[in-house]
Structure 1
Amino acid sequence: MASNILFLPFRRSHSVNLTDAIKQYISSKYDQHPDMFTKDLETIEKLRSVAVHAQEPHPSNIPKLQQYAAQLIWLSGKFPIDIGVEFPWYPALGYNTSRPTSRNNLRFELANIMFNLAAMYSQLAMSSNRSTPDGLKAAANNFCLGAGVLSHLRNSILPELRTEPPEDMDIMTLECLEKLMLAQGQECFWQKAVKDGLKDATIAKLAARVSDLYNEAGDAGIQSDAISSEWIHHMTAKHHHFAAAAQYRAACDTLEKRKYGEEVARLRDSLTCVNEALKEQRYINKLVLADLNGLKNRITEDLKRAEKDNDMIYLLPVPPKAELKILDRANMVVARVPKEIAESNSMLGERGELGPALFSKLVPYSVHLAASIYVDRRDRLVNNTIVEQLEALTNKIHEVLRSLNLPGSLQALEKPLGLPPGLVAHADEIRQQDGINRLLRSMEDTKKLMYTDQAIYQEGVQILRSEAAEDDGARRKFGTERWTRPPAEQAAPKLYAQIQEIDGYFRAATNSDDVVKKKLKENEYFIQLLSGPDHDLENYVPSGRRPAITGDVEREAGKLRGSFNEVSRLESRRRRKIEALRTKAKQDDINPELLREAARLEREFPMQTIEAVQFETLFDKRLQMYDADQDMVHDEENEQEAAIKRLQDANAAFLIARRGDQSTKKREQALQNLENAYFKYKEIISNLDVGRKFYNDLAKIVNRFRDEARTFAYNRKSEASHLENDLSTRMSSLGLQQATSDSLHQQKQADAQNPNYGATAHAEEPLAAPTPTRANMPSPAGMWTPEVGIRFSGVPTTSGNARPAAGPPQDGRWDPAQGLKFG
């Protein structure tokens, strides 16, 4: 249907399978099962289908596009831009609208929905009844909303597209369309002002702004490859049309103010503008042309009247155009982004206008990554900083006790016969844990983990070595000038750096394993005794006679026992603190706070992908809960130093009181060996647990290294294959050209030795066209032929003889009496 305004056509699309792609991504990247989101998957499929088929200009179709667009904006924080679906869309403008453009890009899908939303607003504006005030208001409002959507598409969505936009959605095309929507919206306000009979000065200001906007749209359209020449001619005609209308209304205003000379000047300029617009009459539709002709007739009539009145009555000077005051502008339109687009995330929810937010229970991958980062950081703080320091303090206690031969010296004195209760308790604990067998099994398990990690690591290294060897072979085959791609170590420096890094891990782990083996070897005999029955222990520990204990010895032994018990209680209390700290760390679940922070980021930055680095402030704040535990380490250290000092003083006094008493010396040493073996057993158990955890963690590293090596080698192999094919093709072509060149060279040499070569040396010069010749056939008697020429009777011949007076000529000359005869 012909109209004096333009509207945006819709972009079209085919159906796609979003469900499979989203399910596959959830399965591979999240810890949640995709079946948890069956309803959400069905909803997103339905929303897309409804939005894609909303191709009729009806107000009920606006929410369909807005709802799907809002979900796409929301999903940008949940899924990557390349989710794994090719979205096909046919261009709406330009000269190639029959071939779709497909992109694996969620933002591309969003951009197309936004374009269709703008098209919907423009078509609703066109379908409005612009003969009524309400219809004009509705049309102007829809044009402003359409311009706002196009502005949002250009400024907020295209910069995040990561690929080149389609031809009909590039920057200049969208700018042209946005200005066109604003121009047509401003035209509605101008038309309403005319209908309402506002002052000519006001109407002139409105028309001038319409002209400006059409001019801006046309300038942008010229720089676009998708805006048709028909549209550009339309916008150019409209620009001049409203420039003429503005000057005409300004002339009417000056007539009212009795500025008759200025009236003539403005009417003349108005006529010039309308004539400029009519230069486009071959390309514009009939309605636009009719508007121009109507305006021209009106201007022409008023100009004749104004010039006549001024020349005969007012006699005022007509100012040149350069002296005319530039008309003021009255802008009534602005690109207004619908709140359903600008604030879409705030309108999603169980009771939101745009429906519930889909996949709201799906934790973004970056949140999982952030949680693992926090756990690693927390565990390093707890285990490597706090617990490690506390255990170092405990080890210092054991070293001091061994150096003081405690508690063996006290046990030998207090219980000269049988086994001390403490030793029996230690032996029972080791037996329940299967003693030496447990250690051997743990060491064997740790060794298997190490071998498995080494095998995976070596597999990755071998993959890289094989790829490097193939690359070197190709470089030797084709040469460094042709085989231009960088060597593997330069192409993947981070991957190759992991080789040295992982190798360093294995060396450090091997050294630690050797230390553990040495500890076990040194204490294996005593651990086996503790693992065995009591009578083996009784046989090992010699029984002594009850010594005569003096008052001084008894008093100093009591003090030493008190100091020793104090140290033991300190160690037991510390052990409980370590267990409480580990329980605290185990129960430290940061996920709820991460989800709250992620939800806040999604609301405030809907188009921004959430990264783990955005949670650093939350990490720092959360780790402050362990500040008190770090302070506790210093308190423990101070308390332990004081307790050890008292123990050492008490032991020195005890030794002085027992000076010269050797009756329990052997029993003291045996008890002390078993006591030391018990603590070494506990230490080896702890070392093996750390080693097992280390190799389990290392397994993740070497598996990732091997997978990255496989991917890198596969990509390099594909790249090498393409490069080799290109080189082979080029070399074959060069070989063919060389063969042809050699053949031509040999031919030239043969031609040079040919004696006829000089005659044919210029064979390549253009040949002259052959001259046509007539066949040699005898002509009938008396018939003229071109070879004879034309000779008239009575004309002297070359011999000077005249023709006889009577009879036909006998020498072939033409006889006028015979007429003309052609062979």
Structure 2
Amino acid sequence: MFLFKPAAADGTANEKSMLLAVTFKATAKTVYAKALAEYIASSYAEPPEAYRDDLRVLDELREAATAALDVSPNVLKRNTRYYGQLSFILSKFPADVGIGFTWHNAFVAESEASGQDLYFERAAVLFNIGAAYAQLACGESPNDKDSLSRAFGHFQHAAGVFGHLRQKTVAECRTQLTTDMSPHMLSMLESLMLCQAQECVWRRSALSNMKDANIARIAAYVADIYDSAIQSASQGSLSGTVPAGWLDHMRVKMLYFRAEAQSRKAMDCLANSQYGEEVARLQAAHECCNQIAEVVAADQRWAQQLRTAVLEMARSQADLIGGNRKRAEHDNDVIYLDPVPSASALTAIVPYKMAQPEVPEIVENPGKFLGGEELGPPLFRGLVPFVIHQAASLYEDRKDQLVNKDLIAALDELTADCESVLNSLNLPHSLEAIQKPVGLPPSILVGADEIRSEGGFIGIKRLMDSAIAANAAGAALLAAAEKALDAEAGEDQCVRLGAAAGSARAQRPESCELTVAFRAEVAKYQDVLARARESDAAIKAHVDTWGQFFSLLGSPRDEIERQVPQTTTNPITDPHHSQIVARLQQYMSEVTLMKRERLKSVEKLRRIAAEDDITPALNEEMQRLAAQSATPILQFELHQFEDMFAQHLDKYITWRTYIDEERMAQSELLDSVREANQAFIVARSSHPLLQQREKALTNLDAAVKRYREASFNLHDGARFYASLETELAKLKNGCEDFAMARHLDAMELMGVAHGETPADLARTPDGPIPGTRSQQQQRPNLVWDPSMPLKYKAPK
């Protein structure tokens, strides 16, 4: 694991610093190369070897950015370079590419967050960029004007980075983040950096001997921003995240700069001979010093967290203001006698805002620096952006919806409607009796072969008998289970009969309480068997009804042909009738041709769709936009390709016209078929032989379907009964085991040895149980026969 070491500029470790720095987030070691290489090979269908150098450089960038080094400008440069490359590769890969990242809370090392999310990784790196700016600022000298100017810039950049992180970057993360990256914490850090940037301006102004009135305004804004930072840090969700002492540090600083603003304004009043206002402002400043003393006292009572430098600064200020207040009060009382206004009557000091968040351009627009010295050449430049793959996939979905689910489905529906109409007219079966008067249709021949292979009518009767026998066997198992429960209930009554109140026999759990689940199971399976018997009866009636046809279809082919009425020539010999048949045959030929041509059209449409690849056009558009863009980081959104999708899908509009034409042509052709078929029906109505043959073929065709239905149902029933038998046997055994256990318990309660029946068990509530000792005193040593549960008899 690579972890940042605490830097020397870290505010929590530097007692001499009056500024707070932000510690780096620590991270665990992560390697890109293997996961990205596998993703490139599997998802982009490109050789990962072409990107071997890019993979190596990316791993080196992360390792360098997270190396254990003290704070320096190089740390900032390494993190910024890694951040810039991350921003670029996010346009090449999906965020959840399959690489896991773990980052610790910057202020609570024990807290961490993990996720397979490149946005999460980029956000954590950006946090460390803000921390690096803060630490560089804290490392500058507080007594040198140029150092203070550099610190001012660093703090503004830190504030800008934390603000950018809060407003944009964190919102993109798909991982649950640690509290140091929560909106309240980032808002607090942004305000804190602005406080300290404005504080640098104040310190530089003091070193430059700026007018006291202006210094007062600068200090007033420092106090205002510290107040804003305190409000963010006081959120309950941050109680365990804000470092110890930070809140008191910010309170002391806020009060210090309020006192500073009033003190400086008092000096300006003295210079302008406003002696009464001078006194009032020094009194207001003194009140702030008193409040600081309360914060310091509370801090020291619990555990001193305030830094020595801050305490010394506050003491010096209190001493200075206290001395000036006494001098001003004395002078005014003795010499000037100027009225002293109340604190509420004092004119507010207008803050002078100098510090403001400043997002470094390399953070806000890293693409502008790719290819330059700051970020280096962009990695994976030749890889097609991930959004292009997404757009191509989306277009494929749109195309599939249009081609398969709209166009081809409409054509298939037309064909299905055509088949439905022909079936309702019994075509082409009615024509087959004319066109093929000798022999059987292929559908009947194939069906007959299947029926013979399954044993014919005898085979299906055997399946039917097996189903009935399986139902009876199941009923027998249920009866045995119920019998065991009934026997146990009777024995339970006998045990209670004559039992003394409060005795173990009287308090024994009743049978009806213990057998609720068993009884429910028995009732459930009785209902199942009853419904199965109804289903079997329906199938049996079905088999009996079609039995003669099943028997015929199970016969050899020549026997089936002999049973079907035969014709050796076309019985419709009348020329007018022959013309009617020829016309119907012509229409049926046109129907066949129409369906054949439609199939060819469907295949052509599928071929066009298969060859329709939008990827080259997407790549061309990407290259065009890249040429126009000032940055290589192109942020594409899928909605940007909607116009291109519509343009490419326009080529299928002509197919909608084709479908409308097919629908109209089919409707006209089917109307002609109906008309010709009606004439054909009238023409053959005087030829009973044809009607008999057609009827026979129709019946045989229906019988084939009925046989298949019955066979399927009976085979399915066999599987059902096999499974049911296992469940019923388990239930029967459970009931018998329960009854046997209760019997042994009863024997123990009666205090007799196994094999003996006590007198109380020899009587039922209505009298003695036949065969017990009360009737057979000459038959000792009754023995339980395992083959007959709960029944007892004397050994022979």
Pick the TM interval, shorter chain.
Answer: 0.5 to 0.7
2:22 aligned partner: 8
Alpha-carbon spacing, 1:553–1:377, altered in 2? closer, same or farther (3 Å): closer
Counterpart pick for 2:601 among 564, 572, 577: 577
1:261 aligned partner: 276
CA distance in 1, matches of 2:255, 2:266: 16
2:263 aligned partner: 248
Alpha-carbon spacing, 1:625–1:253, altered in 2? closer, same or farther (3 Å): farther
Could you give the per-residue CA deviations for residues 762-819 of structure 1, whole angstroms, max 9, x where no partner exists?
xxxxxxxxxxxxxxxxxxxxxxxxxxxxxxxxxxxxxxxxxxxxxxxxxxxxxxxxxx
Q: Given that residues 350 and 356 in structure 1 are in contact (C-alpha distance below 8 angstroms), is that contact kept between their aligned partners in structure 2?
A: no
Give the CA deviation at 1:65.
Answer: 1.6
1:263-412 correspondence runs (5 A):
263-277=278-292, 280=296, 284-285=306-307, 287-289=309-311, 291-292=313-314, 294-296=316-318, 298-300=320-322, 302-342=324-364, 355-356=378-379, 377=401, 381-382=405-406, 385-395=409-419, 403=427
Is residue 2:114 matched to residue 1:103? yes
2:79 aligned partner: 65
Alpha-carbon spacing, 1:81–1:585, altered in 2? closer, same or farther (3 Å): closer
Give the CA deviation at 1:128.
Answer: 3.7
Could you give the per-residue CA deviations for residues 265-305 of structure 1, whole angstroms, max 9, x where no partner exists?
10222233235446639765554455445544543554344
Is residue 2:216 matched to residue 1:204? yes
Q: Given that residues 54 and 61 in structure 1 are in contact (C-alpha distance below 8 angstroms), is that contact kept between their aligned partners in structure 2?
A: no
Give the CA deviation at 1:33.
Answer: 7.6
Q: Given that residues 149 and 338 in structure 1 are in contact (C-alpha distance below 8 angstroms), is that contact kept between their aligned partners in structure 2?
A: yes
Task: For 1:244, give the aligned amino acid.
Answer: A
1:179 aligned partner: 191
Structure 1: gaps spanning 5 or more residues = 417-426, 428-434, 441-517, 530-540, 604-609, 678-823
Give the CA deviation at 1:319.
Answer: 1.5
Give the CA deviation at 1:210.
Answer: 0.8
Task: For 1:114, give the aligned amino acid.
Answer: L
Give the CA deviation at 1:656.
Answer: 10
CA distance in 2, matches of 1:327, 1:69: 42
**TM-score, L = length of structure 1:** 0.53
1:140 aligned partner: 152
Is residue 2:659 matched to residue 1:637? no
> Identity percentage over the alignment?
28
Alpha-carbon spacing, 1:349–1:582, altered in 2? closer, same or farther (3 Å): farther
Give the CA deviation at 1:121.
Answer: 0.5
Q: Given that residues 77 and 364 in structure 1 are in contact (C-alpha distance below 8 angstroms), is that contact kept between their aligned partners in structure 2?
A: no
Alpha-carbon spacing, 1:589–1:398, altered in 2? closer, same or farther (3 Å): farther
2:488 aligned partner: none
Could you give the per-residue CA deviations for residues 648-692 of structure 1, whole angstroms, max 9, x where no partner exists?
667888999999999xx99xx99xx9xxx9xxxxxxxxxxxxxxx
2:526 aligned partner: none
Q: Given that residues 115 and 175 in structure 2 are in contact (C-alpha distance below 8 angstroms), is that contact kept between their aligned partners in structure 1?
A: no
Give the CA deviation at 1:637.
Answer: 2.6
Alpha-carbon spacing, 1:167–1:654, altered in 2? closer, same or farther (3 Å): closer
1:508-657 correspondence runs (5 A):
567=591, 569-589=593-613, 629-630=655-656, 632-646=658-672
CA distance in 2, matches of 1:115, 1:356: 22
Q: Given that residues 148 and 178 in structure 1 are in contact (C-alpha distance below 8 angstroms), is that contact kept between their aligned partners in structure 2?
A: yes
Alpha-carbon spacing, 1:399–1:83, altered in 2? closer, same or farther (3 Å): closer
Give the CA deviation at 1:150.
Answer: 2.8
2:765 aligned partner: none
SS in structure 1 at match of 2:19: coil
CA distance in 1, matches of 2:683, 2:567: 23
Q: Which deviates more from structure 2 when the two are superposed, residues 627-636 or residues 29-38?
A: 29-38
SS in structure 1 at match of 2:189: helix
1:87-126 correspondence runs (5 A):
87=102, 89=104, 92-93=106-107, 97=109, 101=112, 103-104=114-115, 106=117, 109-126=121-138
Task: For 1:66, give the aligned amino acid.
Answer: T
Is residue 2:166 matched to residue 1:151? no
SS in structure 1 at match of 2:163: helix
CA distance in 2, matches of 1:87, 1:3: 32
CA distance in 1, matches of 2:181, 2:676: 89
Give the CA deviation at 1:198.
Answer: 4.2
Give the CA deviation at 1:170.
Answer: 5.5
CA distance in 1, matches of 2:663, 2:248: 88
Task: For 1:333, give the aligned amino acid.
Answer: A
CA distance in 2, matches of 1:643, 1:217: 83
CA distance in 2, matches of 1:161, 1:556: 77
CA distance in 2, matches of 1:408, 1:554: 15
Could you give the per-residue CA deviations for residues 153-205 of structure 1, whole angstroms, max 9, x where no partner exists?
45556667677654655565544433221110111222333345544333222
Task: For 1:16, give the aligned amino acid.
Answer: T
1:194 aligned partner: 206
Q: Given that residues 226 and 254 in structure 2 are in contact (C-alpha distance below 8 angstroms), is that contact kept between their aligned partners in structure 1?
A: yes
Alpha-carbon spacing, 1:397–1:319, altered in 2? closer, same or farther (3 Å): closer
CA distance in 2, matches of 1:71, 1:170: 25
Q: Given that residues 278 and 289 in structure 1 are in contact (C-alpha distance below 8 angstroms), is that contact kept between their aligned partners in structure 2?
A: no
CA distance in 2, matches of 1:393, 1:162: 50
CA distance in 2, matches of 1:543, 1:268: 131
Alpha-carbon spacing, 1:656–1:170, altered in 2? closer, same or farther (3 Å): closer
Counterpart pick for 1:44 among 38, 55, 58: 58
Structure 2: gaps spanning 5 or more residues = 1-13, 452-545, 558-565, 630-635, 702-796
CA distance in 2, matches of 1:554, 1:398: 21
CA distance in 2, matches of 1:71, 1:113: 11
Q: Which deviates more from structure 2 when the two are superposed, residues 193-202 or residues 398-407?
A: 398-407
1:695 aligned partner: none
CA distance in 2, matches of 1:399, 1:172: 73
CA distance in 2, matches of 1:229, 1:141: 27
Give the CA deviation at 1:244.
Answer: 1.3
CA distance in 2, matches of 1:15, 1:658: 89
Q: Given that residues 349 and 357 in structure 1 are in contact (C-alpha distance below 8 angstroms), is that contact kept between their aligned partners in structure 2?
A: no
SS in structure 2 at match of 1:178: helix
Q: Given that residues 47 and 67 in structure 1 are in contact (C-alpha distance below 8 angstroms), is that contact kept between their aligned partners in structure 2?
A: yes
SS in structure 2 at match of 1:12: coil
Task: For 1:9, give the aligned amino acid.
Answer: T
Q: CA RMSD in A?
A: 6.5
Could you give the per-residue CA deviations for residues 729-758 of structure 1, whole angstroms, max 9, x where no partner exists?
xxxxxxxxxxxxxxxxxxxxxxxxxxxxxx
CA distance in 1, matches of 2:114, 2:91: 16
Q: Given that residues 144 and 335 in structure 1 are in contact (C-alpha distance below 8 angstroms), is that contact kept between their aligned partners in structure 2?
A: yes
Q: Given that residues 94 and 386 in structure 2 are in contact (C-alpha distance below 8 angstroms), is that contact kept between their aligned partners in structure 1?
A: no
Give the CA deviation at 1:249.
Answer: 1.8
SS in structure 1 at match of 2:22: coil
Give the CA deviation at 1:134.
Answer: 4.8
Give the CA deviation at 1:66.
Answer: 3.1
Q: Given that residues 208 and 329 in structure 1 are in contact (C-alpha distance below 8 angstroms), is that contact kept between their aligned partners in structure 2?
A: yes
Q: Given that residues 583 and 676 in structure 2 are in contact (C-alpha distance below 8 angstroms), is that contact kept between their aligned partners in structure 1?
A: yes
CA distance in 2, matches of 1:562, 1:611: 57
Give the CA deviation at 1:544.
Answer: 7.4
CA distance in 2, matches of 1:304, 1:402: 120
Alpha-carbon spacing, 1:258–1:661, altered in 2? closer, same or farther (3 Å): same
CA distance in 2, matches of 1:563, 1:201: 106
SS in structure 2 at match of 1:269: helix
